[in-house]
């Protein structure tokens, strides 16, 4: 069993999935941020591979991508960060990437290096299931879970297609729109949860727009197996530029609060 | 096209999951209108009565004499709005209306596609919002004013390079958030399937007319057809009806300050395959796969991607892709104005510049058709400012 499956099997409660952009604001600080998230109790760590044109992301994560790239982050740096983290954690690590970063490096090479570094799953933000044949075959060969998105606009017919290929968990997009903090969890998100549940037994995690303990509670009470938080975490990193101690403290406290709610 | 949505290996649908349903809807809707005589009739009526088609194929006596071959201009500068862009926006907006969409969004570089979208929004009664890089809103201020005059809202984009690439990013973000009632009216043969196919079909009217016109005037097909290529819609529009013929096709990209300087937008000349804005195509990118900033004197060509069909035509060597640099473009801008009394858009001036630089390849009887994709009024202030600096 892979690390991701093991987490969902082992835990008797919903999982907390925390996201930060690899290399934001620089390699060393990012490693400290990731460790703080894990210390706070993050069950699965998602790392964004920074890209020049992150069209699925709102302003918060766009800015984090820019900070990371300005600090000189490359794909090599991202793998270095994973290897560093793997020295003292078994928490599953999932990449969120845009396809060009993978395509350009060579799909086989990217997945091989990711697997060697200790990555457990990869979600490609701009790859619907219809385009995933090559990637899926290679990912399976290297033992990496291909994580897919499901949106409110996804038809039942396509949910079935996606569920047939899904590994690890399904990432349910809670909003119509890009990543970023929102005031409430929409009823559309909860409808999506019950709709997808009818088609698959794979763990379902809700993400996009979730930032407060109340949001998290709403999702897990409705039956979500996990909640994914990105922008709220990236906000904490962005607000503590130059003060990594405060950043670590705030990140850890934030995850602890969120965990309590679920 | 080989398999669904592909031109050779290029094309595809690399988009966020949220948009997949909209693309499927778009495809189904487009298949329906393609077989609908009512749609064709409505579109033809608008093209004729409103847009001013067909456009002339103008013989250039002075440039022909000077350059030593028979030069014709396909006069897309005379389409209502001042460029070929209206061919596509009329088609897509009619399609959007039939799909029951309530709102149009678009991206624009030079502003010509934004203007063409504002025009159809006004005439068909649909609200329009146009994303435009902040830098482009400044260098094409006249077009911003025109769009606003026709009731469109222009949203300056301040992220990334603040040009066309980022305008498309923002339009895609808007579309994801408003996908149920909003139609994204893409302005070039780029983006996910079915856009490259649909935009090419709507622009093919250029080549169809040119073919009939040149046959009537010369009794034979031209030797060479030249068009500028940014995303590549005017080029696909004039090339497509000649693809199977023995006609040389030349696509001219923006060499900017020179390909060797890195300050250019010559994607097909200097890029490699990559995925941006929903499709696999040639792309200007760095060693790590990050998209590179581009440069061109013409905002409309300032784009790091290219159409998937162009990417295929390059690999097949059916079309020759080349580039000319900013100074040659400025020369061509002045040359055509002075020689023929026609001020070309800076984009179209790239095609003119290529013919000027390659005039010795042609014999007196050779027929060269240049797609004059737009008129240059929008560029006059920019060129005047550049002259002031010289």
CB A196 within 8 A of CB A206: no
Q: Report the percent of chain B where pLDDT is more than 70.
A: 99
The pLDDT, as a whole number, for residue B389 is: 61
The pLDDT, as a whole number, for residue B4 is: 75
Chain B residue whose CA is closest to A174: B18
**pLDDT band at residue B3, thresholds of 50, 70 and 90?**
low
Residue among A46, A55, A220 at smallest CA distance from A145: A46
> How many angstroms separate the CA atoms of B104 and B127, rounded?
6
- Strand-pairing partners, residue B6, are B11
Sequence spans of domains, chain A: 3-261
- Over range A164-189, report the average pLDDT: 94
Q: Give the distance from residue B86's alpha carbon to the nearest chain A alpha carbon, in angstroms.
A: 27
Q: Is A26 on the interface with B (CB under 8 A)?
A: no
Task: Classify the phi-psi angles of B9: left when phi > 0, otherwise alpha if psi is within -120 to 50, otherwise beta.
Answer: alpha
| Residues B236-284: tens digit of each pLDDT | 999 999 999 999 999 999 999 999 999 999 999 999 999 999 999 999 9
Q: Is A8 on the interface with B (CB under 8 A)?
A: no
The three-state secondary structure class of B341 is coil
**What Å distances lie between residue A258 and A168, A210, B63, CA to CA?**
22, 10, 73
pLDDT at A19 over 80: yes
Count of residues for chain A? 262
Cβ-Cβ contacts under 8 Å, B173 against chain A:
55, 58, 177-178
| Residues B157-205: tens digit of each pLDDT | 999 889 899 999 999 999 999 999 999 999 999 999 999 999 999 999 9
Class of domain A3-261: alpha beta
DSSP letters for A160-227: HHHHHH--S-EEEE-SSSSSS--SS--HHHHHHHHHHHTT--S-EEEESS--SHHHHHHHHHTT-SEE
The pLDDT, as a whole number, for residue B1 is: 46
| Residues B58-74: tens digit of each pLDDT | 999 999 999 999 999 99
| Residues A63-93: tens digit of each pLDDT | 999 999 999 999 999 999 999 999 999 999 9
Dihedral sign for Cα atoms in the order A140, A50, A153, A196: positive
Cβ-Cβ contacts under 8 Å, A153 against chain B:
17-22, 179-180
**pLDDT band at residue A212, thresholds of 50, 70 and 90?**
very high
The three-state secondary structure class of B247 is coil
> How many angstroms separate the CA atoms of B179 and B184, rounded?
9
Q: Is A158 on the interface with B (CB under 8 A)?
A: yes
- Count of CB contacts below 8 A, A vs B? 109
Cβ-Cβ contacts under 8 Å, B175 against chain A:
none
Residue among A89, A84, A74, A76 at smallest CA distance from A37: A89
Residue among A231, A188, A227 at smallest CA distance from A20: A231
> How many angstroms separate the CA atoms of B109 and B296, rounded?
11
CB atoms within 10 A of CB B178: 17
On the CB side of A63, CA atoms within 13 Å amount to 15
pLDDT at B347 over 50: yes
- Strand-pairing partners, residue B131, are B107, B155
Q: Catalytic residues of B, which ones?
A: 60, 84
| Residues B371-386: tens digit of each pLDDT | 999 999 999 988 998 8
| Residues B133-155: tens digit of each pLDDT | 999 999 889 999 999 999 999 99
Q: Is B159 on the interface with A (CB under 8 A)?
A: yes
Cβ-Cβ contacts under 8 Å, B160 against chain A:
52-53
**pLDDT band at residue B110, thresholds of 50, 70 and 90?**
confident
Q: Which of residues 287-316 of B touch A (CB under 8 A)?
A: 288-291
- Check residues B389 and B212 and name the one with the higher pLDDT: B212
The pLDDT, as a whole number, for residue B2 is: 47
- Over range B217-240, report the average pLDDT: 98
pTM: 0.96
Q: Which of B6, B9, B18 to mutate to test the interface with A (most CBs of A within 10 A)?
A: B18
CB A174 within 8 A of CB A209: yes
């Amino acid at each position: 069993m892979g690390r991701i499956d093991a987490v969902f099997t082992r835990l008797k409660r919903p999982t907390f999935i925390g996201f930060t952009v690899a290399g934001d604001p620089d390699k060393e600080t990012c490693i400290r941020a990731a460790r703080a998230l894990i210390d706070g109790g993050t069950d699965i760590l998602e790392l964004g591979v920074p890209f020049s044109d992150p069209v699925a992301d709102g302003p918060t994560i766009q800015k984090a991508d820019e900070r990371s790239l300005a600090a000189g982050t490359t794909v090599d740096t991202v793998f270095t960060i994973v290897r560093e983290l793997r020295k003292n954690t078994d928490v599953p690590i999932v990449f969120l990437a845009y396809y060009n970063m993978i395509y350009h490096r060579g799909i086989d090479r990217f997945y091989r290096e990711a697997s060697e570094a200790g990555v457990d799953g990869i979600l490609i933000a701009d790859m619907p299931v219809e385009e995933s044949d090559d990637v899926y075959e290679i990912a399976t060969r290297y033992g990496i879970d291909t994580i897919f998105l499901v949106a409110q606009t996804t038809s039942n017919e396509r949910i079935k297609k996606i569920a047939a290929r899904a590994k690890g968990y399904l990432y349910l997009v809670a909003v119509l729109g890009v990543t970023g903090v929102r005031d409430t969890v929409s009823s559309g998100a909860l409808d999506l949860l019950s709709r997808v549940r009818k088609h698959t037994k794979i763990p379902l995690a809700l993400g996009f727009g979730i930032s407060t303990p109340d949001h998290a509670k709403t999702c897990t009470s409705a039956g979500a197996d996990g909640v994914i938080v990105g922008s709220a975490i990236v906000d904490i990193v962005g607000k503590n530029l130059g003060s990594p101690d405060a950043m670590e403290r705030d990140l850890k406290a934030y995850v602890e609060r969120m965990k309590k709610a679920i | 096209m080989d398999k669904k949505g592909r031109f050779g290996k290029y094309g595809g649908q690399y988009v966020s999951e949220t948009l997949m349903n909209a693309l499927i809807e778009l495809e189904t809707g487009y298949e329906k209108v393609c077989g609908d005589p009512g749609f064709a009739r409505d579109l033809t009526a608008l093209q004729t009565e409103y847009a001013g088609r067909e456009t002339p194929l103008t013989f250039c006596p002075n440039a022909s004499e000077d350059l030593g071959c028979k030069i014709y201009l396909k006069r897309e500068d005379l389409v209502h709005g001042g460029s070929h862009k209206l061919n596509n926006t009329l088609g897509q907006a009619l399609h959007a209306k039939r799909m029951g969409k309530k709102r149009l969004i678009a991206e624009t570089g030079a502003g010509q596609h934004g203007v063409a979208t504002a025009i159809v929004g006004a005439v068909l009664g649909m609200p329009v919002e146009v994303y435009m890089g902040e830098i482009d809103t400044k260098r094409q201020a006249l077009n911003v004013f025109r769009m606003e005059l026709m009731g469109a809202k222009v949203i300056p984009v301040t992220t990334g390079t603040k040009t066309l690439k980022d305008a498309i990013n923002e339009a895609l973000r808007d579309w994801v958030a408003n996908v149920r009632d909003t139609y994204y009216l893409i302005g070039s043969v780029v983006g996910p399937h079915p856009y490259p196919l649909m935009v090419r079909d709507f622009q093919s009217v250029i080549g169809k007319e040119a073919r009939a016109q040149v046959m009537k005037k010369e009794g034979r097909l031209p030797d060479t057809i030249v068009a500028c290529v940014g995303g590549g819609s005017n080029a696909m529009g004039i090339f497509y009806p000649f693809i199977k013929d023995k006609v040389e096709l030349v696509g001219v990209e923006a060499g900017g300050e020179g390909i060797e300087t890195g300050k250019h937008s010559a994607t097909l000349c200097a890029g490699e395959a990559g995925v941006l804005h929903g499709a696999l195509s040639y792309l200007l990118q760095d060693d790590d796969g990050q998209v590179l900033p581009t440069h061109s004197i013409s905002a409309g060509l300032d784009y790091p991607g290219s159409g998937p069909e162009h990417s295929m035509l390059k690999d097949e060597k059916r079309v020759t892709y080349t580039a000319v640099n900013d100074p040659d473009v400025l020369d061509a801008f002045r040359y055509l104005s002075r020689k023929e009394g026609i001020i070309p858009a800076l984009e179209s001036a790239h095609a003119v510049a290529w013919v000027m630089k390659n005039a010795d390849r042609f014999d007196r009887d050779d027929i060269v058709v240049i797609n004059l994709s737009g008129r240059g009024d929008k560029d006059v202030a920019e060129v005047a400012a550049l002259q002031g600096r010289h």
